[in-house]
Chains A and B, each alone.
Chain A
Amino acid sequence: MARASAATRVRVGLTAVILADQVAFLSRWSAYLSERMQANVTFTARESYQEILDLLFGNQLEAAWICGYPYVQQRERVDLLAVPIYQGQPLYRSYLIRPNAGVDRIGGWKDLRGRVLAYSDPLSNSGWLVPQAQLRAAGVAPSELRRGFFAHGHRNVAEAVAARLADAGCIDGYVWDTMLRQKMPAAGRTEVVWRSDLYGFPPLVVRKDTPGEVTEALRRSLLAMTQDAEGRSLLDSLNLDGFAEEPSSIFASIERLSLEQDRLG
């Protein structure tokens, strides 16, 4: 197994793709990876994908867990490190959620005309790109919304909808399911109105200029997490089955949406 030296510093950026504000969990995961890699692994969390990308391309991070949409946009500058396996496959869905109580609730995309819609992040596939395509498909122009806003994270989308700040929200299906599994109140006060097709799960990437041994060591450590109890425990906390090497083709559908979005401006 390839290992980095003990003095090697491996900084991994996290975004809203996971519930990354659990300090104790990140500390455990960091210690786990550091031990496996014989390196100093640290995590850096930011609310937006753009901030993480800025840190990554500013050489402040060696790796990052980003969304499939920025991955396809930055494919020339990053390499796939690993893809999480969720419910047995490296795929996930986008959800449209609404409050689970109250009057005059929306029933689908067409009902969003004149309503407030919460997005997650402008670089989120499930929280921006997919909803844009669905609004177009439903014939609802963004200007026909009463308001649309970014909640800076999937979890915030659920909270905005639960608080009725928004009539509906676009959220990563894996995040919403995990929130519900962890009995978070915001998930409990919302319900899924619509589920998208499957898309490539938000991947972990490294800068192309990241030393190969670091990349390899980190990848091996991630892929091996299913092989020991501590790794399985961490994966259980993440509500994931494991990490795997997957071809970039699993993000083809996201790339198509991205190209369409770019074309329409």
Chain B
Amino acid sequence: MFERLSYRFQIPCGLTLAVLLSALLVAGVAAQISARAARQEILTTVRQAMVLLSAQAKPLLAAEDIWRAFTLLRDTAALLPGVEQGETRGAILDAKGRILAGSDPVKLATGIQATGVASNQRATPPVKDIHTRYESLGPNGDLTLVEPIQSEDGEVLGFVYVEVDAQVFAPDWVAAAKPALIGAALAAALLVPLGWLTGVRMGRPIARIANCIARIGRKPAAQLKSELPMPRDPELGRISSAVRQLLSEMEVRQTAEQRALSAERLAAVGRITAAVAHEINNPLAGLLTAAQTLRVHGASEEARARSIDLIDRGLKQIQTMTAALLPQARVEDRALQPGDVNDVVTLVQPEAARMGVELKLDMDVSSAFRVPSAVVRQVMLNLLLNAIKAAGGGGTASAEVNADAETVKVTVSNSGVPLTDTALATRLASEGGNDPRGFGLWICREIANRFGGGFGLVPTSTAATKLCFWIPNLEANEQITAPH
């Protein structure tokens, strides 16, 4: 609870609490010291009063003047602590220890034996055993004092007798605590506003630092650094410096990440360029050879036909390659239409016919396509061209297109040599290598990742290889772009 309060409240409350605790401790110690001093002072006063009574009582004892002894006690006892509360009493005893007169005649009645008897938990020795001042502390703290009154020649004329109840020695906690509590109240009156101001001053830089920390990631680090305070307090200074260092490191890291991203993009472009160059260079060599053959042996029908075939295959390979790269270049596109699917099938139909591969299409669209047409067309084209090549002569290549409100899925299977997970991973890892099919598959996976979808082998019992590509059925600007 207390920790949840701001420094504006914590500091004055804490200071006041500390002052109060100090006051209580001081009051406690002061009361102890005061109690000891008060006890000593009481004893001193009582002993002095007894000396006074002893001197004044001599002629009264000689005359057995009870009234004057009483008035002497009444006047002298007024000096004793606790008399007003009836907690201290004095008496003058005759030589036999009987009360001549008492300051409180009800408790110390005239003619009653006061020494050598036990009463009210007070026990005093008989008069014959009292030669000097006798002091006895009872079990409950009551004090009894008896002092002999002697004539000049040493004869005992009587005694001064004083009873002090234990309550007289009890510490006056209120009186002892009062100065400390008044001091504490004054200190609190001063410290509460002072603590409030200190709390406000202490809390201000902390709030500013906390505000900066709260906005990390949402505001530029440089701006946050400029807003960070530089408190003079060493602890807060360390916190501020630490936050400043954190922001600096974040700044450096963000810059490095930007650079790394740029470098990665450049590397990707480089890899694509190298792959494209490689894929184009291979058929180019064949094309150049075919061109040379035509130049030298163009008169021969057979050589011309073979060279033209060669040129045709080489150009188609280049066409395939450029087709595979098409989506990387397009940014804006319209939504896929069912006709686009049929167009792709039509496009690959000549290649399937040339390879002697049976081509099948199954389309199940329960919800309108929202995905970009170029993306799906490119993926489907790549997968079908790969499937036709993998199926080989007499084989079958099938395409299924499914669309619902959530997903658009393109599944392409072939009856050729089965493609294992390991072989697929190798092809994807090599980013195509010398195999145009591998490059096409890598492009498919990249697209799937970019659009928050997936790409991979699907277990099948009806075909050798079945590859599935799917992405969320969302428009391009809604697509969740996979992290790099």
> Which residues of A pack against B, CB within 8 Å?
102, 116, 118, 146-147, 149-152, 156, 160, 163-166
Select from chain A the residue with minimum beta-carbon distance to B67: A151
- Cβ–Cβ contact A116 & B111, under 8 A: yes
Q: Report the bound CA distance from A102 to B111 in whole Å.
A: 19
Known contacts A102-B106, A149-B65; can you find 8 more A-B pairs with CB under 8 A? A150-B65, A152-B67, A160-B70, A164-B105, A164-B109, A165-B101, A165-B102, A165-B110
Partner among A118, A147, A150, A160 whose Cβ is within 8 Å of the Cβ of B111: A147
23 contacts between A and B (CB under 8 A): A102-B106, A116-B109, A116-B110, A118-B67, A146-B111, A149-B66, A149-B110, A150-B67, A151-B67, A152-B67, A152-B68, A156-B67, A160-B67, A160-B70, A163-B70, A163-B74, A164-B105, A164-B106, A165-B66, A165-B70, A165-B101, A165-B102, A165-B110
Q: Report the bound CA distance from A191 to B70 in whole Å.
A: 21
Q: Please, what's the 1-or-0 string for B57-100, where 1 marks a CB less than 8 Å from any CB in chain A? A: 00000001111101000100000000000000000000000000
Q: Report the bound CA distance from A118 to B66 in whole Å.
A: 9
Least Cβ distance of B484 to chain A in Å? 107
The verdict on A149 contacting B64 (CB below 8 Å), with A163-B70, A164-B106, A165-B70 known, is yes
Least Cβ distance of A99 to chain B in Å? 10
Q: Report the bound CA distance from A129 to B346 in whole Å.
A: 161
Q: Which residues of A contact B101 (CB under 8 A)?
A: 165
- Cβ–Cβ contact B105 & A163, under 8 A: yes
Q: Which residues of B contact A166 (CB under 8 A)?
A: 110
Select from chain A the residue with minimum beta-carbon distance to B99: A147
The verdict on A146 contacting B110 (CB below 8 Å), with A156-B67, A160-B67, A165-B70 known, is yes
Q: Which residues of B contact A150 (CB under 8 A)?
A: 65, 67
Q: Report the bound CA distance from A152 to B66 in whole Å.
A: 10
Least Cβ distance of A242 to chain B in Å? 33
Select from chain B the residue with minimum beta-carbon distance to A156: B67
- Cβ–Cβ contact A165 & B65, under 8 A: no
Q: Which residues of B contact A163 (CB under 8 A)?
A: 70, 74, 105
Q: Which residues of B contact A156 (CB under 8 A)?
A: 67
Give the B interface residue count (CB, 8 A).
Answer: 14
Least Cβ distance of B28 to chain A in Å? 42
Q: Which residues of A contact B65 (CB under 8 A)?
A: 149-150
- Cβ–Cβ contact B68 & A165, under 8 A: no
Select from chain B the residue with minimum beta-carbon distance to A152: B67
Q: Which 10 A-B pairs have the closest CB atoms?
A: A149-B66, A146-B111, A165-B105, A151-B67, A164-B105, A147-B111, A116-B110, A164-B106, A147-B110, A165-B70
Select from chain B the residue with minimum beta-carbon distance to A151: B67
Q: Which residues of B contact A165 (CB under 8 A)?
A: 66-67, 70, 101-102, 105, 110
Q: Report the bound CA distance from A166 to B67 in whole Å.
A: 10
Q: Which residues of A contact B102 (CB under 8 A)?
A: 165
Least Cβ distance of A158 to chain B in Å? 12
Q: Which residues of B contact A160 (CB under 8 A)?
A: 67, 70
Select from chain B the residue with minimum beta-carbon distance to A157: B67
Q: Which residues of A contact B67 (CB under 8 A)?
A: 118, 149-152, 156, 160, 165
Least Cβ distance of A58 to chain B in Å? 22
Least Cβ distance of A123 to chain B in Å? 16
Q: Report the bound CA distance from A118 to B111 in whole Å.
A: 13
Q: Report the bound CA distance from A71 to B306 in whole Å.
A: 186
Q: Please, what's the 1-or-0 string for B108-148, where 1 marks a CB less than 8 Å from any CB in chain A? A: 01110000000000000000000000000000000000000
Q: Which residues of B contact A151 (CB under 8 A)?
A: 67
Q: Report the bound CA distance from A150 to B64 in whole Å.
A: 10
Q: Which residues of B contact A164 (CB under 8 A)?
A: 105-106, 109
Q: Which residues of A contact B74 (CB under 8 A)?
A: 163
Q: Report the bound CA distance from A116 to B111 in whole Å.
A: 8
Q: Report the bound CA distance from A150 to B101 in whole Å.
A: 13
Q: Report the bound CA distance from A146 to B106 in whole Å.
A: 15
Least Cβ distance of B99 to chain A in Å? 9
Q: Report the bound CA distance from A195 to B8 in whole Å.
A: 83
Q: Report the bound CA distance from A151 to B106 in whole Å.
A: 18
Give the interface centre of B67, B101, B102, B111 by most chain A CB atoms within 10 Å: B67
Give the interface centre of A149, A156, A166 by most chain B CB atoms within 10 Å: A149
- Cβ–Cβ contact B106 & A147, under 8 A: no
Least Cβ distance of B177 to chain A in Å? 37
Least Cβ distance of B317 to chain A in Å? 137
Q: Which residues of A contact B106 (CB under 8 A)?
A: 102, 164
Q: Report the bound CA distance from A245 to B377 in whole Å.
A: 159
Q: Which residues of A contact B64 (CB under 8 A)?
A: 149
Give the interface centre of B66, B68, B102 by most chain A CB atoms within 10 Å: B66
Least Cβ distance of A215 to chain B in Å? 35
Q: Which of B285-318 contact A (CB under 8 A)?
A: none
Give the interface centre of A149, A163, A164, A165 by most chain B CB atoms within 10 Å: A165
Q: Which residues of B contact A147 (CB under 8 A)?
A: 66, 110-111
Give the interface centre of B64, B74, B106, B110 by most chain A CB atoms within 10 Å: B110
Q: Report the bound CA distance from A108 to B200 in whole Å.
A: 85
Q: Which residues of A contact B109 (CB under 8 A)?
A: 116, 164
Q: Please, what's the 1-or-0 string for B371-390, where 1 marks a CB less than 8 Å from any CB in chain A? A: 00000000000000000000
Q: Which residues of B contact A146 (CB under 8 A)?
A: 110-111
Q: Report the bound CA distance from A164 to B102 in whole Å.
A: 10
